[in-house]
Chains A and B, each alone.
Chain A
Amino acid sequence: MNFRAIRAIYLFEMARTWRTLLQSIVSPVVSTSLYFVVFGAAIGSRITQVEGVSYGTFIVPGLVMLSVLTQSISNASFGIYFPKFVGTIYEILSAPISYLEIVIGYVGAAATKSIILGLIILATAGLFVPLHVNHPIWMLTFLVLTAVTFSLFGFIIGIWADGFEKLQMIPMLVVTPLTFLGGSFYSVNMLPSGWRTLTLLNPVVYLISGFRWSFYEIADVSVALSLGMTVCFLVACMAIVAWIFRTGYRLKN
């Protein structure tokens, strides 16, 4: 293992985060606070309780997941797309490092960033609504798993994209709708049964459900299923990344 190289990539990526602090941390926090004001205070005041929890409190795990998902994807996709775009990727490809090390460096940094962000948002939420985490270890497990999985997914998008347009396309057209429809703002049980069945095809449902369970012990699907689906998605992303590096897809001629 070339640990120095992993460290170099990781620190390089983290330095980019600190350099763009406003864009990477402050703006997601501001937009999440807006969700609280709109959904929690304005609309939430008219909804009594969801499964025994006040609506404002109910949406916290979903909102954290929403940010962690989108930020993981955008951090990781941008992190690998940018060197491709400006050409500095030549140095990564010519360095004595394995593909695994490259992925650990980039994905590790992207995931770290979104985990930090998730925790900041959680703390921000604590200012608006009373919070209680029943299973902190599981909460962190789901948070880390999700951050890593979607950073890997973002990494794949960053390699696949050959223009800024494509870089935005998947997060905009696929991930955001799936997240909104994945139960961030409602319980899947509130849906008519036909929709509920359809919703279960959405992988994000399992992430949010598991994460919410770690807070309030209420879940749309069983925790084991949530965990299993998350791990499945993680493994699928890993397999695609392995294939990308084996073939040099969009990286090497």
Chain B
Amino acid sequence: MSPIISVSNLSKTYGSGFKALNNINLEINKGEIFALLGPNGAGKTTLISIICGIANPSQGKIAVAGHDIVSDYRAARSMIGLVPQELHTDAFESVWATVSFSRGLFGKPKNPAHIEKVLKDLSLWDKKDNKIVTLSGGMKRRVMIAKALSHEPQILFLDEPTAGVDVELRKGMWEVVRALQASGVTIILTTHYIEEAEEMADRIGVINKGEIILIENKTTLMQKLGRKQLTLQLQGRLDCVPPALAAYNLELSSDGRAVTYDYDTKGERTGITSLLSDLRNAGVRISDLDTRQSSLEDIFVSLVRAP
């Protein structure tokens, strides 16, 4: 797949001297959903703002489908729809007017049928004549998505699209995003909800302190860094792990009624069979067991915390 966005050696230093981005290199593939994860202040929004033309880069180059975002900004920007994090709306405009305005601003001829479709997809059709100020936060968020989709972008940036949106609505948005991807739109989203990235993304990029610290396919990432853990509930109590089992690095729970064992599913041997038989030999009896796979959240936290 060819990259639809390519960022090379991008750095951004603000007037205050704060270095928000440091030598970012990133390629986004056409048609993928790319999730950009990072703690607050990591540089996610700055990166998106520069790609979309809202902030100037200090150094480096960005091309959107081969168009340089500075010298060929018209071609580059007309491909991009942006849904910023903050709810910036024209309070006294109607939903229909503001969405139509966006289409005109991006130089597209009027197309009421398309706007109607976008509003219907986002369940905003019955609100089309309402002033934005009368809408709820979740609806305003959808109005902003509608504005971004009004000009039929090939790339959609969603900066924290589901912040402050209830669970049901969030699921609805995911469906919209999936349908967009199916129609060929490339989607870049930033999120705090790791669950969202885990659910939606094809690839994950982790950004921290202005640097990309990892870019990986989601499944590869989860396989590579995800760990599995086996928890065994014991019939009796143990004061300490029997010495014969030292090699397994078992962790005994504080009440002495459970042990946990970390293992790697990709390893040639998980060691589970021998652990179970060794436990039996040591006279430890088991009442229950369960296994758990580390989530993207665990991976993320361990990556960002790493020195």
Question: Which A residues are closer than 8 A to B by beta carbons?
Answer: 2, 4-5, 7-9, 11-12, 15, 19, 86-88, 90-98, 248, 252-253
Q: Report chain B residues within 8 Å CB of A98.
A: 74
Q: Which of B178-210 touch A at CB < 8 Å?
A: none
Task: Mark contacts of B55-90 with chain A using CB atoms, 8 A cut-off: 1 yes-contact digit, 0 otherwise.
Answer: 110000000000000000111111010101010111
Find chain B residues with CB under 8 A from A9 CB: 105
A90 to B76 CA separation, bound complex (whole angstroms): 16
A57 to B138, CA, bound (A): 58
Q: How large is the interface on B (under 10, 10 to 19, 20 to 34, 35 or more residues)?
A: 35 or more
Closest to A20 in B: B92
Q: A8-B105, A92-B105 are in contact. Are A253 and B92 (CB under 8 A)?
A: no
Name which residue of chain A comes closest to B92, CB basis.
Answer: A19
Residue B176 at the chain A interface, CB threshold 8 Å: no
A-B contact count (CB 8 A): 77
Q: Are B54 and A93 in contact (CB under 8 A)?
A: yes
Q: How far is the CA of A15 from the CA of B91 in the complex (A)?
A: 13
- Inter-chain CA distance A93–B55, complex, in Å, is 9
- With A86-B89, A92-B105, A96-B106 given, is the CB distance from A2 to B74 under 8 Å? yes
Q: Is B107 an interface residue (CB 8 A)?
A: yes
Supplied contacts A15-B93, A94-B82, A98-B74, 7 more A-B pairs, CB within 8 Å: A8-B101, A94-B53, A94-B77, A94-B80, A96-B76, A96-B106, A253-B49
**Contact of B53 with A91 in the complex, beta carbons under 8 Å:** no
Task: Give complex CA distance A88, B132 in Å.
Answer: 13
Minimal beta-carbon separation of B16 from chain A (angstroms): 10
Q: Distance in Å from the Cβ of A81 to the closest Cβ of chain B?
A: 14
Report the separation of the CA atoms of residues A4 and B93 in the bound assembly, to the nearest whole angstrom: 19
- Write the nearest CB–CB distance from A5 to chain B, whole angstroms: 5
Inter-chain contacts of B80 with A (CB < 8 A): 94
Q: Least Cβ distance of A179 to chain B in Å?
A: 31
With the chains together, A179 CA to B132 CA distance in Å? Answer: 39
| Between-chain CB contacts (< 8 Å), 30 pairs | A2-B74, A2-B107, A5-B104, A7-B104, A11-B104, A12-B101, A15-B93, A86-B91, A87-B88, A88-B88, A90-B54, A91-B88, A91-B147, A92-B105, A93-B52, A93-B54, A94-B54, A94-B77, A94-B80, A95-B77, A96-B73, A96-B74, A96-B75, A96-B76, A96-B78, A97-B74, A97-B107, A248-B56, A253-B55, A253-B56
